[in-house]
Amino acid sequence: MRASSGFRAATAAVGLSFAAALTLTACGSDTTGDGTLTVVASTNVWGSVAQAVAGDKVDVTSIITEPSSDPHSFEASPTDAAKLTDASLIVYNGGGYDHFVDDIIGTGNSDQLTVNAFDLLEGGAHAGEDEHSGGDSDGGDSHEGHDHGDVNEHVWFDVDTVDATAQSIADKLGQLDPDNADAYKANAATFHGQLEQISAITDGIAAAHKDAPVAQTEPIAYYLLQSAGLKDVTPPDFTSAIENGNDPAPAAIAATRQLLTGKQVQALVYNVQTQDRVTQDVRATAESAGIPVVEVTETLPEGLDYIQWQTNTAESLAAALQ
Q: What pLDDT does 224 receive?
A: 98
What is the CATH T-level fold of the domain 208-321, as seen in this structure?
Rossmann fold (3.40.50)
Quick: pLDDT tens for 87-116: 999 999 999 999 999 999 886 566 889 999
Quick: pLDDT tens for 15-67: 444 433 333 333 334 454 456 899 999 999 999 999 999 999 998 999 999 87
- For residue 49, the SS3 value is helix
Average pLDDT over residues 189-208: 98
CATH superfamily of 38-123+152-190: Nitrogenase molybdenum iron protein domain (3.40.50.1980)
Quick: pLDDT tens for 260-304: 999 999 999 999 988 899 999 999 999 999 999 999 999 999 899
How big is the CA angle at 73 (ends 69 and 76), to the nearest 5 degrees?
80
The CB density around residue 204, as the number of other CB atoms within 10 Å, is 13
Element at 154 (helix H, strand E): none
Most confidently modeled of 68-82, 87-101, 132-146? 87-101
Q: In what order do the strands lie in the sheet with 268-271?
A: 231-232, 213-216, 268-271, 293-296
What's the CA gap between 153 and 294, in Å, rounded? 20
How big is the CA angle at 193 (ends 190 and 199), to the nearest 5 degrees?
150
DSSP assignment of 134-153 equals GSSTTSS-TTTT--TTT--S
What's the CA gap between 256 and 235, in Å, rounded? 7
Quick: pLDDT tens for 229-271: 999 999 999 999 998 889 999 999 999 999 999 999 999 999 9
- With contact defined as beta carbons under 8 Å apart, do 227 and 186 qualify? no
Share of the chain above pLDDT 70, in %: 79
Residues in contact with 317: Cβ distance below 8 Å, sequence separation at least 6, in sequence order? 202, 205, 224, 228, 267, 269, 294
Q: In the beta sheet, which residues pair with residue 213?
A: 231
Half-sphere exposure of 6 (CA within 13 A, CB side): 1
What's the CA gap between 122 and 48, in Å, rounded? 21
Residue of 293, 291, 312, 290 lying closest to 301 (CA atoms)? 312
The reply to whether 208-321 shares the fold of 38-123+152-190 is: yes
Q: What residue spans define the domains of the chain?
A: 38-123+152-190, 208-321
What's the CA gap between 180 and 171, in Å, rounded? 11
